[in-house]
Amino acid sequence: MASPSTSLLFVILLFSLITLHQQSTSPAAAAAAQPLSPAAQEYLGAHNEARAAVGVGPLRWSEGLANLSSRLVRYQRNKMSCNFANLTNSKYGGNQLWAGGAAKTPRMAVEKWVEEKQFYNHADNTCAPNHQCGVYTQVVWRNSSELGCAQATCVKENTSLTICLYNPPGNYIGESPY
Ligand SMILES: *[C@@H]1O[C@H](CO)[C@@H](O)[C@H](O)[C@H]1NC(C)=O
Ligand SMILES: *[C@@H]1O[C@H](CO)[C@@H](O)[C@H](O)[C@H]1NC(C)=O
Ligand SMILES: *[C@@H]1O[C@H](CO)[C@@H](O)[C@H](O)[C@H]1NC(C)=O
Ligand SMILES: *[C@@H]1O[C@H](CO)[C@@H](O)[C@H](O)[C@H]1NC(C)=O
């Protein structure tokens, strides 16, 4: 996993979790009681547009995943210099974006992941060399049904870290997203 360089401005780094463990049952409840915050609507809308573009059904917002994302980004901000979280042992899928130079809206963050679509070849489920299609394939992973995201701004370095978590996780090696 690359460590973000804090000496560069306007750098965008992407990271996606590759799921190594077996698919497990997901007990996370999908209660949509509260109206969604504007940020949640933006994260969700940007994901669901990218999914609809390839004929994949929408995700739901999960307050539990949003809370977990929020705890993760705050921990990374406070203790880890805003570096990417280590989600290796997470039971959820994870996309991360580290951005320098300016704050990123939720939509801008998701669109950075979706930009990797151009390097993804769905016909044979491959990615062009030196690209991170995993962030895109997690966005459009058909079996993922719930989403929660959060962003932290790292004032000192003027950078931000965005994390989205997905349940059930995507990016199973050798499986196509849709
Ligand atoms: C998420 O966090 C909010 C605010 O701390 C809390 O009220 C809510 O119960 C939490 N929801 C879940 C599902 O963890
Ligand atoms: C992430 O955590 C896993 C499991 O704890 C560990 O094996 C791995 O070395 C860690 N990766 C990094 C980049 O710290
Ligand atoms: C931090 O980024 C903002 C834009 O989001 C910019 O206006 C400001 O000048 C930057 N500050 C530093 C110290 O680079
Ligand atoms: C989706 O889930 C079904 C049922 O659990 C499984 O058979 C299938 O391989 C999964 N597909 C993907 C792309 O993960």
Q: Tell me the per-residue pLDDT of 33-56, one tens digit each, with 9 for 90 and over.
A: 678 999 999 999 999 999 999 999
Nearest-CA residue for ligand 3 atom 13 is 158
Q: Are strands 159-167 and 146-154 parallel, antiparallel or unpaired?
A: antiparallel
pTM of the predicted structure, to 2 decimals: 0.84
The pLDDT assigned to 159 comes to 86
pLDDT, tens digit, for every residue of 104-155?
Answer: 899 999 999 999 999 999 999 999 999 989 999 999 999 999 999 999 998 7
Name which of 42, 146, 161, 148 is nearest 96 in CA terms. Answer: 161
Q: Cβ distance 116 to 133 under 8 Å?
A: yes
* Gap between the terminal Cα atoms of the chain: 26
- Asked if residue 168 has a cis previous peptide bond (ω within 30° of 0), the answer is yes
Q: Which of 60, 62, 63 to mutate to test the pocket of ligand 1 (most atoms within 8 A of CB)?
A: 63
- Mean pLDDT for 19-37 is 58
**Residue 135 Cα to ligand 4 middle (Å):** 18
Average the pLDDT over each of 19-28, 57-66, 81-90, 147-156 and give the range with the smallest value.
19-28
| Ligand 1 neighbourhood includes 64 CB (under 6 angstroms) | yes
Q: Cβ distance 149 to 105 under 8 Å?
A: no
Nearest-CA residue for ligand 2 atom 6 is 88
| Ligand 4 neighbourhood includes 143 CB (under 6 angstroms) | yes
Q: Which atom of ligand 4 is nearest to the CA of 176?
A: 13
User: Residue 3 pLDDT more than 60?
Assistant: no
